Chain A
Amino acid sequence: MVFRTLFRPKQRPTTTIDMTLSHDGANWTASNDSVHLRAESLEALDRLVEQSLHDELADHDRLDVFMAFDNEVIPQWIRPYMNHYFNRIIELPLRRK
């Protein structure tokens, strides 16, 4: 898994779609200029993202969605200690369990 993360095998260039990830207290949210999605779990959110990109997926073998976390969620008083929560990338289509 570490190997896969650090040294990804060469493949066709992947299209990357940027989104901002956040949490509103009850739900995870993913948004950009085109969509605003929300779900209780990240897994459910990922499926919503996949559905919302259905048309783009039809034109690509694979899509990467780069989710940069909205660090405004971290309260001001915590930011001096660590001002970054986490970023993630999801690879679409999702591999079903």
Chain B
Amino acid sequence: MAKTQRAWYSGMLTTEDWWAVWLGLFFFGLGLLTLAGVDLVGWVAYPKKWVFSLPDGAIAKKIVTMDKSFYALGGKYSQTAKDTYKALGPIGSILITYLVFTVATTIGAYFQKWDVKKYLAGWTIIFFLTYLVWFIGHHAFFSASVVDLKKSHFPDMFTLSLGGGASFILALIVGLIIGNFFKPLANYLSTAAKPEWFIKTAIVFLGVKVGYLPIKAVLIGSKLGAKGSQIGHEMANLTFDLFVAGAAATIVAYLIFWPGVYTISRLMFKLPRKTAAVLASAISICGVSAAVATGGAVRARPIVSIMVSALVVVYAVIELVILPGVFTHVWPGTSDPIVAGAAMGMAVKTDGADAAAGELLDEFMRQKVEKESGGKIVWMEGVITTSAVMTKIWIDMFIGLWAFILALFWVYKIEKHEGDRVPFSEVWFRFPKFVLGYFAAWFIYLGIFFGPGQAGGTPEGVSILKAAKAGAVPVEKGFRKLFFMLTFMSLGIITDFRKLAEAQFGKMVWVYFVALVFYIIPVAIVIAYLFHHGMTIPNMAAIPGGVIN
């Protein structure tokens, strides 16, 4: 039975892309109910940094004992059901989180016609494995920062200061071990290991985060009176700056990256024209999506796109492992965190790997700057991730237009297919639908901030923003991080490095390597510098009581 896309609504109930929108917006909508005094999202289990036992003189503040290593976020942030969510305890909140997301994602699996039984079993294993890794990764040795140690009155001790990054790395490692050394298990889990679905859903939750950033800034700064409102405005402006700069940087990147990689492929590696075009899009634009879109645009045999896609997936994971560390410690470094984030968005070629790399970069950079400044500089969490995802989202959105233009050029000028016409509907079919959820979540929270919240300028406004916060935090923090963790784990599970050696990619492996290392990454940093240099992240340590998680 052929599966074609003819109508504009094709795939609304059957594709991961749309299901990321439905899942993301459903939980976003649940979060909004706190504005009406109903908290239905505070149950989500979130980890704390922990030790087996507290040293003498230490207090359980930022670092707690093992039995308190998870808590329901509503137990801390809810305005209406704090006691209920507190009473859940670690195990209760994890079980409710499992139940809710199992039901929600299984409905998605059913409509996408996956094997529901297999999905359920795989999901259950991946979910609990993810929580186990989340738990281990939050041991103070891996995650605690200087500020955490100070706030909990811990004696000076050596920690890796990786923050939440430790859990992400661990999840990826565990996933890769399963994917590469336990193939039967990896195959069994593959029905539920869906990094693109998880990350697209997480990106919709990130939309809540972006919209919530000004609210968070205002509420933290509210102790400063009018200055609090000003900080909120600055944060709202920063997100818009990222939005505009991301668009500009993306357009420039398209115009510079694509011709460069195409030329490298053709002149240095003598690849055929269509293969060079597909490869150029994959390496320079948005990986698999671009490889398939360009393959279609230039009317390449599908096998060309499939081969290039396999290459992209493996390279993206290699980038995810290497680039956050390089960007943090070598270039561009912590002096230009937003530049680094934006460059990441242009350099890493799948949504999953990019958002995951952005999140790692966020953790690494914040921990590094906090450690080096002795806790005097504390950046608000999530801004660097936002800069990485913002450029990637623009890149994703443009692919439809790019493929359309390329198709027109190819069909009418290069190969001159007589009578061939390119339907404009192609642009919509290639449009990444999950960004609709991302923008909806962002703009609605921004509307609350500037509308009924009055940018925190009045006591009534502040009280509305506080109610919004109770629903936003579990979504932007709890749900988002959980789906990031699931992404890291699933990415590892489905990545088989042997494919790179086994497949007959030939020259393509080297084109990818040369283009990425010597062209895409350096140029991405330069372009990101041109459009993002000077953007700064507010220092929360400079605000009394500002270092609040």
The residue on B at minimum CB distance from A18 is B6
Given the known A-B contacts A78-B292, A97-B416, are A68 and B4 also in contact in the complex, defined by CB atoms under 8 Å?
A: yes
A81 contact set on B, CB distance < 8 A:
196, 287-289, 292, 309, 350-351
Residues of chain B lying within 8 A (CB to CB) of residue A85: 292, 295-296, 302, 305
Encode B4-23 as 1/0 by CB contact (under 8 A) with A.
11100001000111000000
Give the contacting residue for A42; candidates B287, B292, B417, B424; CB below 8 A: B417
**Complex interface: chain A residues within 8 A of B418 (CB):** 43, 46, 94-97
Chain A residue contacts of B408, Cβ below 8 A: 1-2, 5
The residues of B that contact A94 with a CB separation of less than 8 Å are: 418-419
Q: Tell whether, in the assembled complex, residue B306 and residue A86 are in contact, meaning their CB atoms are under 8 Å apart.
A: no
Asked whether A9 is an interface residue with its Cβ less than 8 Å from the other chain, the reply is no
Q: Is A80 in contact with B4, judged by CB distance below 8 angstroms? A: no
Residue A37 interfacial (CB < 8 Å): no
Q: Tell me whether A6 is interfacial, beta carbon within 8 Å.
A: yes
The answer, yes or no, to whether A23 is at the interface (CB within 8 Å) is yes
Decide if A75 is an interface residue (CB 8 Å cutoff). yes
Q: Which residues of A contact B4 (CB under 8 A)?
A: 20, 68-71, 87
Quick check: A87 and B5 within 8 Å, CB to CB?
yes
Q: Mark A62-97, 1 if CB is under 8 A from B, else 0.
A: 001010111111110111111111111111111111
A86 touches B416 (CB 8 A): no
Beyond A74-B292, A80-B16, A85-B296, whether A68 also contacts B5 by CB under 8 A is: yes
Question: Does residue A13 face the partner (Cβ distance < 8 Å to B)?
Answer: no
Residues of A within 8 A of B429 (CB): 84, 87
Q: Which residues of A contact B422 (CB under 8 A)?
A: 5, 88-89
B189-210: which have CB < 8 Å to A? 194, 196-197
Contacts known (A5-B408, A91-B419, A91-B421); A78 close to B306, Cβ less than 8 A: yes
CB distance from A39 to the nearest CB of B (A): 13
| C-alpha spacing A70/B301, complex, angstroms | 13
Please state if B419 and A80 are interface contacts (CB–CB under 8 Å).
Answer: no
Q: Is the CB of B293 within 8 A of A82?
A: yes
A11: min CB distance to chain B, Å: 14
Across the interface, name the chain B residue whose C-beta is closest to A41.
B299
Q: Is B64 an interface residue (CB 8 A)?
A: no
Which single residue of chain A is at the shortest CB-CB distance from B15?
Answer: A83
The smallest C-beta distance from A66 to any residue of chain B, in angstroms, reads 8
| Cβ proximity bits B158-197 to A, threshold 8 Å, 1 near / 0 not | 0000000000000000000000000000000000001011
Measured between alpha carbons, how far is A48 from B421 in the docked complex, in Å? 17
Q: Which residues of A contact B306 (CB under 8 A)?
A: 74-75, 78
B17 partner, pick from A46, A80, A87, beta carbons under 8 A? A80
Taking CB atoms, residues of chain B closer than 8 Å to A97 are 416, 418
**Do B430 and A46 have beta carbons less than 8 Å apart?**
no
CB distance from A97 to the nearest CB of B (A): 6
Task: Bits for A17-40, please: 1 = Cβ < 8 Å to B, else 0.
Answer: 000101101000000000000000
Residues on the B chain within 8 Å of A6, using CB = 424
Cβ 8 A contact of B420, one of A2, A82, A90:
A90
A75 to chain B, nearest CB (A): 6
B2, B4, B295, B422 — which one has the most chain A CB atoms within 10 A of its CB? B4
B417 cross-chain contacts in A, Cβ below 8 A: 42-43, 46, 90
Cα distance, A16 to B295, chains bound together (Å): 25
Decide: A87 near B194, CB < 8 A? Known: A42-B299, A81-B292, A82-B293: no
User: Can you name 10 A-B pairs with beta carbons within 8 Å?
Assistant: A5-B424, A6-B424, A68-B4, A68-B6, A69-B296, A72-B3, A81-B196, A83-B11, A86-B297, A87-B4
Tell me the B residues contacting A by CB distance below 8 Å.
Answer: 1-6, 11, 15-17, 194, 196-197, 287-289, 291-293, 295-297, 299, 301-303, 305-306, 309, 350-351, 405, 407-408, 412-413, 416-426, 429-430, 494
Add 16 more A-B contacts to A5-B424, A82-B288 (CB < 8 A): A2-B405, A46-B417, A64-B421, A70-B3, A74-B302, A79-B15, A79-B16, A80-B17, A81-B292, A82-B289, A84-B426, A85-B302, A86-B296, A86-B299, A88-B421, A97-B416
Name A residues whose Cβ lies closer than 8 Å to a Cβ of B: 1-2, 5-6, 20, 22-23, 25, 42-43, 46, 64, 66, 68-75, 77-97
Q: 9 nearest interchain CB pairs?
A: A86-B296, A81-B288, A68-B4, A80-B196, A82-B292, A70-B2, A89-B421, A94-B419, A82-B289
